[in-house]
Structure 1
């Protein structure tokens, strides 16, 4: 199931602009699909921070299937560093970053997660051999969801 992000980067920028012109320090928006928290930084940490959580996700390690997947339950899994859409290749029609049987090291990019129109590389994090690419291409993933399994 492929879904678009519930808000665009422009939507979040507009929320930040509203927050910036108000006397409030943070805004917390929750819907049936997601939760977005935007907060104003303090002192040395100027600017704004944002935090996403998809509806039904109770935190890192909770997959969209409801099955708990995390470093504790599957130490061979490469986990999504943030929520978004997982892609196997850098662009449509390009060969995938990795396939089962490929040797990888800690810095090898195994895929990308697109969040808010930003492409975030996902690194293997350790050396090994790709045993399985768990998530289909162009699939929405939660933070902490297993993407690739190494052997």
Structure 2
């Protein structure tokens, strides 16, 4: 006889979505037994078995080269205003354009509007559009295309 799978707790997903709205978070993730649920403002809810969740790892070649080529480290030393920096809301890979070879979402000197997509972060095989938190002028892009990013890492400065 076929094994009955328990249904996804839709009330839990609604509660998590309400927490996102109430706290102004970008995403929230919870684990319950062998189920992980992630709710994000810029994506769709994801539910997958724990054993199928890939671990994020930076390949050794990239990790070794990163200190010399980290654009955000140089920008941090140049003294950009931290309150104007847009930071990574998650760990993943940052893409500055919607597709390889496409025109970037933004360029230095460009005017952006609040809510406009400024880049994409791929996390867990999901493309998450990152919106501008405020309107202004892009004064620095601190990350390279297809570069790994950490949670809280400065990505773009909008003055």
TM-score by length of 1: 0.56
Matched pairs, number: 99
Gapped regions of structure 2 (runs ≥ 5) = 1-5, 7-28, 39-52, 58-66
Q: Does 1:125 align with 2:137?
A: no
Gapped regions of structure 1 (runs ≥ 5) = 1-19, 21-36, 42-46, 56-63
CA offsets 1:19-78 (integer angstroms, 9 cap, x no match): x9xxxxxxxxxxxxxxxx97217xxxxx523699978xxxxxxxx8797x7xxx701101
Which residue in 2 is equivalent to 1:135? 143
SS of match in other structure, 1:131? strand
User: How has the CA–CA distance of structure 1 residues 87 and 79 changed in structure 2, closer, same or farther, with 3 Å as cutoff?
Assistant: same
Which residue in 1 is equivalent to 2:112? 104
Quick check: which one's helix share is greater? 2
Q: Does 1:49 align with 2:34?
A: no
What's the C-alpha RMSD, in Å, of the aligned pairs? 3.2
Which residue in 2 is equivalent to 1:147? 155
Which residue in 2 is equivalent to 1:40? 32
Q: Is the 8 A contact 1:80 1:142 kept in 2?
A: yes
CA offsets 1:73-127 (integer angstroms, 9 cap, x no match): 7011011110000000011000000001111111111100000110001111001
Q: Does 1:89 align with 2:97?
A: yes
More contact order relative to length (CA 8 Å, sep ≥ 6): 1
TM-score by length of 2: 0.53
Which residue in 1 is equivalent to 2:124? 116
